[in-house]
Chains A and B, each alone.
Chain A
């Protein structure tokens, strides 16, 4: 009897395990923004990532800078500083907003008029020392510590690496 049940049971267990893994991954991508952190040669995390998943932690992290995110609908954010290969600091921030419209509103507020538009995500601009882009309900800020051309190249490379990880439907 046991012999006959072994194969079906194994199949069931495998399916259950697979479903569990998928569920865990979905859960992680929905709740843990660390899956979007860039992993690139020459980019070394400087300290641990900092989470903000409620209004208080966002205010504690951003002070008055938190206001537009809350106004438009904030779900969670993750902050990570890196050291680049040139020993400069680079700050990465990703915000998951309640939907694409909310992320777009923040993007419009922050993008500025004179900045160069880039083909990254659904909308992106390169400022003097920073790059911001929006993909679906995610809004990403990558900031260098100077306006050198090499820094701008680093910002773009990081943005492209992160953009690939963010998979969303629609705009």
Chain B
């Protein structure tokens, strides 16, 4: 695994951290008003599509935000983070949702798509569309090998993390997560999925850096703060959430009992989306520590009442 020096990225880290605090994506041509939502009257903060065809639901969810061309420009390099390392049903993003994202990115003119996390063996085979989109799958590039040490000056606890280099190099970043139960934090979605961009060593420190204990989760507030800090590194240009069929118990690995909400979500505010998805697990956003910590970092708003949430059936 290649690493580049911490020093060489220190300046960049400071700049990126500042950009993140201001709500802008790094190295992205879609900072500020160009990115996100385009509906004429009132911008859609959260697009939700219900239906059993998850591929179509994903496309429709993104279209409600204004379409992938609002996010992906021609010849851009996309960093794609998908919760795909797990094998048990309801623990990983349905590959049909990922395939829909990949298809839309290429159609919008993406030059390259880098997977920021290695999928589990057989991940794509778990979709009936794998053969139809074999070319697209084959063209995906491995973006998980090289890592870099990264300073996070605005962090409360996680002042430094080792993350995938491609996370910092890509022109735009798409976070694709699944809503699910989690035995430690009780909830996993977009914010937690960001741990897919950091190395095992960094994640180990997030788990064990707080109060000492024999458990993998000795200090949930510590872990939650670290997750919020990690999310300072880069704001996603687009977030997709699989809330179709997901673990209600035995998360994050499973197998366990499933909730079948049949929803695909698209948006750009990861805090808002996590807040909404926590309710699908019968949790209150104000009780999910990582959501509150992320809101305190101004990474988004968990206020569902103020958000313009548009939910439709796939049709």
- Chain A residues within CB distance 8 Å of chain B: 46-47, 59-60, 62-68, 70-71, 81, 89, 91, 109-110, 112, 114, 127-130, 132, 141, 143-146
Please tell me if B183 contacts chain A, counting CB pairs below 8 Å. Answer: yes
Smallest Cβ distance from A95 to chain B, in angstroms? 12
Smallest Cβ distance from B87 to chain A, in angstroms? 5
27 pairs, A vs B, C-beta closer than 8 Å: A47-B121, A47-B122, A62-B253, A64-B216, A64-B217, A64-B252, A64-B253, A65-B183, A65-B250, A65-B254, A66-B216, A67-B184, A67-B215, A67-B217, A81-B87, A81-B121, A81-B122, A91-B88, A109-B250, A112-B250, A112-B256, A112-B257, A127-B256, A127-B257, A128-B257, A130-B255, A145-B89
* Nearest 9 CB-CB pairings of A with B: A65-B253, A67-B216, A130-B255, A64-B252, A143-B255, A91-B87, A62-B253, A47-B121, A143-B88
Please tell me if B200 contacts chain A, counting CB pairs below 8 Å. Answer: yes
- CB neighbours (8 Å) of B254 from chain A are 65, 130, 143
CA of A105 to CA of B256, assembled, Å: 16
Smallest Cβ distance from A85 to chain B, in angstroms? 15
Cβ 8 A contact of B257, one of A60, A63, A114: A114
Please tell me if B249 contacts chain A, counting CB pairs below 8 Å. Answer: yes
Smallest Cβ distance from A119 to chain B, in angstroms? 20
Cβ 8 A contact of A68, one of B122, B126, B183, B200: B183
Take A46-B122, A112-B249 as given contacts and tell me if A71 and B215 are in contact as well, using a CB distance cutoff of 8 Å: yes
Q: Is the interface of B mostly helix, strand, loop or mixed?
A: loop
Cβ 8 A contact of A89, one of B122, B214, B250, B253: B122
Smallest Cβ distance from A115 to chain B, in angstroms? 8
- Chain B residues within CB distance 8 Å of chain A: 85-89, 121-122, 125-126, 182-184, 200, 214-217, 249-258
Q: Is the interface of A mostly helix, strand, loop or mixed?
A: mixed
Take A91-B87, A91-B88 as given contacts and tell me if A145 and B126 are in contact as well, using a CB distance cutoff of 8 Å: yes
Smallest Cβ distance from B292 to chain A, in angstroms? 20
- CB neighbours (8 Å) of A146 from chain B are 89
- CB neighbours (8 Å) of B200 from chain A are 59-60
- CB neighbours (8 Å) of A47 from chain B are 121-122
- CB neighbours (8 Å) of B251 from chain A are 65
User: Among the interface residues A47, A66, A114, A127, which one has the most CB atoms of the partner chain B within 10 A?
Assistant: A127
- CB neighbours (8 Å) of A129 from chain B are 89, 255, 258
CA of A91 to CA of B86, assembled, Å: 11
CA of A109 to CA of B254, assembled, Å: 11
- CB neighbours (8 Å) of B121 from chain A are 46-47, 81
- CB neighbours (8 Å) of B217 from chain A are 64, 67
